[in-house]
Amino acid sequence: MVSGIVALMLQQNPNLTPDDVKCRLMATARGARNEDGSPGYGILQQGAGLVDAYAAVYATVVGCANRGLDIARDLAGEEHYAGLVRRDADGKVNGLVVHDRESGTSHRVTSRLVVNAGGVWTDEVRHRLGLGGCKVRPSRGIHLILPSTLVPIAVAVSLPSPDDGRPVFLIPHPEGVLLGTTDHFHDADLDDPRPTDEEVGYLLRAAQTAFPGRNVTRDKVLGAFAGLRPILDIHADDPTEASREEDIWVERGVVTVSGGKLTTWRSTAEQAVDEVVSQLPDEVARRVGRCMTKGTPLAGLAPRDLAARLEALPRARFLPALPPIKRVP
């Protein structure tokens, strides 16, 4: 059975190494259990665990081979490997095996629920938890840093791209002028997004159109960087058509929150906490209560009466001296 799953995995991705295959099988495995919760197998029995074939084939996890596997305890008959995810008798996730990279040790953690707030890594975390399919399709945006002497602006400027009409902005930055941004689906390494030549050219053409006499060319760029957005996968052909809304859903004991924008992160977090509370047993939920973030001030929050206090101060303290107004007869 496992050999058939491995064949499907290699058909899907022929570049998988033996450790990649092992990692993905382990990440999507769960131990076979009897009705009373005891291991339903002996140390050398076939069928010692169950593998979610779909999740294994489409998993993206790497570097987890052998994590959580204690060979000495397994051979001693003290504990058999049951996967990186702990499940109850109904198959719901009720714990994890976490790995400490500094010490090299693994720890088993139990919980009533697991919350997945993995951002662009949402599906990678879901696959590690044995959940199949893909819910998120990351999009990539890049920014360039231009010399402030090349583009001397004192305030933020927004303009339509000459290529497709998308808004492009220039913002004064401590290291120059920030020029952004782009929007393309990202199917490469999530850990190391890089600006492409096409994206750099796209932004430079916008700056050249806005400042035709400034000679904004590639060799003037001081720096470039890329970031990823956790966009919900609605099968859009273009990322500009994809929804920027957030979503929260529950799968087999896992509460996942993804999508949304930085400007709505606190509201989204509140919704996620309330969803978690709703999944808890009634007696626990009553003791915990709903999320209170709406009425909790953030550290560094300005005084509530700041606006009124500023209005009461003489304007001369904030505005530079202005020349007298010349009246036209």
Could you read off the pLDDT of 162-194 as tens digits, one per residue? 999 999 999 999 999 999 999 999 988 899 999
Q: Within a domain: residue 124?
A: no
**In-domain check, residue 320:** no
CATH number of the domain encompassing residue 203: 3.30.9.10
Rounded Cα–Cα distance for residues 268 and 290 (Å): 14
One domain, residues 37 and 107: yes
Predicted confidence at residue 43, as pLDDT, reads 40
Mark whether 224 and 256 lie in a shared domain.
no
Q: 182 in a domain, yes or no?
A: yes
DSSP string for residues in 273-314? HHHHHHHS-HHHHHHH-S--GGGSPPTTPPPTTHHHHHHHS-
Is residue 199 one of the residues assigned to a domain?
yes
Judge whether 286 lies within some domain: yes
CA distances from 271 to 79, 263, 267, 295, 300 (A): 39, 15, 6, 14, 24
The answer to the question of residue 126 being in a domain is no
Query: Which residue reads 């084939």 in tokens?
Result: 57
Residue type, position 190, single letter: L
Mean pLDDT for back-to-back runs of 10 residues, the chain (329 residues) = 79 83 74 54 47 76 60 52 68 82 80 93 87 90 96 92 94 95 92 95 95 93 96 89 92 94 90 94 90 82 79 60 49
Question: pTM value?
Answer: 0.69
| Residue range 224-266, pLDDT digits in tens | 999 999 999 988 888 888 888 999 999 999 999 999 988 888 8
Are 212 and 261 contained in the same domain? no
Tell me, yes or no, whether 246 lies in a domain: yes
Q: For residue 181, is the peptide bond before it cis, meaning its omega torsion is within 30 degrees of 0?
A: yes
**pLDDT at residue 66, as a whole number:** 58
One domain for residues 80 and 153: no
- Domain check: are 161 and 187 in the same one? yes
Host domain of residue 12: 2-112
Structural domain total, the chain: 3
The answer to whether residues 47 and 93 belong to one domain is: yes
